[in-house]
Amino acid sequence: MNDQKSEYLAEVRTILELVELDIAEGDVTISDDSPHTQVVRNGFFVGIDARDRYHLLVQVEETEVNIRRRLTAGIGLKNETFQLGGTYVKVVDIVAEHRWKFAMELFAAEIMMEMKNGMISIETIKRIVDEHRALWAPPREPLGIPAQRGLIAEMEVVKKLGDAHTPNHIVSCWRGPDGGIHDLASEEWAVEVKSYSEEPPRVKINHIAQLDHNIDKRLTLVALHLITDGDGKTLPEYIDEMIQWAEHHGCRSRIEEILVSMKYDDERRNEYYSTYTVGRFVVCPIKETSPVFPAELGQYIPSSVSEISYLLALNDLDQLPDALAGTWDSMFETNSW
């Protein structure tokens, strides 16, 4: 570590100790979202909030700032307008749980090294973040990535169908992980939900019977493009939105039952760091002519083969325009496609 970085690191630690002393003496007002801060150098502040999290507040060069990222479990950054020294300024707020104190002190010293005239660019912050990611190796999330993506896709489709139909009925048709071969099903219709990460869309079909058109129901495959990026939302944030939607429509208890069956524990919400942005829906009516694996061939599969899964290219199937309300209404008709 060079002399200048050592000097900055010592400054950060000294100021953080002053912040801790102020809070211990009880002469400051703080909340979960509003930390007590002290200036380290022009344009750079450190603080601690009521949840004992560390805040690094740095003024940025850009006049229009829109950044929000979960960097790993317990570390995130976002743009904020803070009142610092009696003046409102635009800053990037790097927030870290208490266990990341040592990592944040080093990160703060790096930020100070790159600042010019009391400011820093967003691109420079992103570069420093990328350089430090190896030091912030994330722990394992409570639910794995496939389970997270599947749950988010199902929730988004349930809300979309509920807004087109009767919310309570749609929620009652949501089967959860153990309720049947299709994600949503009634006596007249069934919907299989998938997610995909890249265009053109391809999804994994887990059982040949999932897309069997010979089920005397209207069967629809709906795939949601879930984009993995640092500016998206975590699984708990999507669940918060789902709970709010269900509360509004009077079906919260059923949603909570499904979340429990999917092994989601809200007390561990801070352990999630993967973020996703919702893209487009791909809506494919499953017909006799749809180019999918023929379910009738299942009778010829030897007993030594327990299950068959395959990847399906959705651009080879007929698709309905997801932006039209009639597309979502049509899924509930009683006859097959």
- 10 Å Cβ neighbour count for 188? 13
pLDDT of the residue at 284:
97
Query: Does the residue 9 lie in any domain?
Result: yes
For range 159-186, the mean pLDDT: 91
Q: List alpha helices for 288-330, DSSP H.
A: 325-330
Nearest to 13 by CA among 80, 85, 92, 112: 112
The pair of structure tokens assigned to 269 is 């919400």
How far is Cα 234 from Cα 151, in angstroms, rounded to an integer? Answer: 12
Q: Select the highest-mean-pLDDT range: 3-12, 191-200, 208-217.
A: 191-200
Q: What pLDDT is stored for residue 201 in this prediction?
A: 96
Domain closes at, from 105, 136, 167: 136
- Does one domain contain both 260 and 233? yes
At 312, give phi and psi (nearest 5°). Answer: -120, 125
Domain assignment present for residue 335? The answer is no
Same domain (yes/no): 162, 303? yes
What CA–CA distance (Å, rounded) separates 106 from 181? 51
Average pLDDT over residues 8-16: 88
- Please determine, for residue 60, whether its predicted confidence score (pLDDT) is greater than 90: no
Candidate ranges 66-70, 267-271, 329-333; pick with highest mean pLDDT: 329-333
Say yes or no: 200 and 127 in one domain.
Answer: no
Quote the mean pLDDT of the chain: 88
Q: From CA 87, how far away is CA 232, in angstroms rounded? A: 30
Asked if residue 50 lies in contact with residue 31, where contact means CB atoms within 8 angstroms, the answer is yes
User: 27 or 168: whose pLDDT is higher?
Assistant: 168
**Same domain, yes or no: 113 and 176:** no
- Statement to judge: residues 235 and 200 lie in one domain: yes
Strands in 42-158 per DSSP E: 44-48, 54-59, 68-72, 75-84, 87-96
pLDDT tens-digit profile of 248-304?
999 999 999 999 999 999 999 988 888 999 999 999 999 999 999 998 888 888 889
C-alpha to C-alpha distance for 241 and 246, rounded to whole angstroms: 9
Structure tokens at 214: 């010979």
- E strands, 110-243, in order: 184-185, 189-196, 202-205, 218-233
Tell me: do 38 and 55 sit in the same domain: yes
Q: Is residue 269 part of a domain?
A: yes
- Mean pLDDT, to the nearest integer, of 221-227? 97
Q: 331 or 231, which is more confident? A: 331
The verdict on 55 and 161 lying in the same domain is: no
pLDDT computed for residue 119 by the predictor: 86
Res 28: pLDDT: 86
Confirm whether 337 is domain-assigned: no
Q: How large is the greatest C-alpha to C-alpha distance in the chain, in angstroms?
A: 77
Query: CB 146: neighbour CB atoms within 10 A?
Result: 10
3-state DSSP call for residue 38? strand
Query: Is the confidence at residue 82, as pLDDT, over 80?
Result: no
For residue 158, what pLDDT is reported? 97
Q: Does residue 275 contact residue 234 with C-beta atoms inside 8 Å? A: yes
**336 falls within a domain:** no
| 163 and 127 within one domain | no
Which residue, of 115, 136, 157, is where some domain finishes? 136
Kindly state whether residues 203 and 104 are assigned to the same domain.
no
278 and 223 housed in the same domain: yes
Mean pLDDT of 215-224: 95
The residues facing 282 across adjacent strands are: 223
> Hey, what's the torsion of the CAs at 9, 11, 12, 15, to 10 degrees?
160
At residue 244, does pLDDT exceed 80? yes
- Write the pLDDT tens digit of every residue in 42-57: 888 888 998 889 998 8
Which range among 9-18, 124-133, 202-211, 308-317 shows the weakest confidence by mean pLDDT? 124-133
184 lies in some domain? yes
* Number of domains the chain is built from: 2
Model confidence at 84: pLDDT above 90: no
Which strand ranges, in their side-by-side order, compose the sheet holding 184-185?
Answer: 184-185, 189-196, 218-233, 276-285
Query: Would you say residue 232 lies in a domain?
Result: yes
Residues 203 and 238 in one domain: yes
| Residue 23 covered by a domain | yes
pLDDT tens figures, 113-160:
888 888 888 888 888 887 876 666 666 889 999 999 999 999 999 999
Q: 3-state DSSP call for residue 182?
A: coil
Q: Could you tell me if residue 128 is left (phi over 0), alpha (psi between -120 and 50 degrees) or otherwise beta? A: alpha
Query: Residue length, the chain?
Result: 337
Question: Could you give the 3-state DSSP secondary structure of residue 142?
Answer: coil
Q: What 3-state class would DSSP assign to 113? A: helix
Instruction: Give the pTM.
Output: 0.65
List the single range of 80-89, 226-235, 270-279, 301-310 with lowest mean pLDDT. Answer: 80-89
Q: Which domain holds residue 67?
A: 3-136
Residue ending a domain, among 136, 157, 181, is: 136
Sign (positive or negative) of CA dihedral 107, 113, 117, 121: negative
Clarify whether residues 97 and 150 are in a common domain: no
Residue 138 has what pLDDT? Answer: 61
The stretches of 133-203 forming alpha helices (DSSP H) are 145-164, 167-172
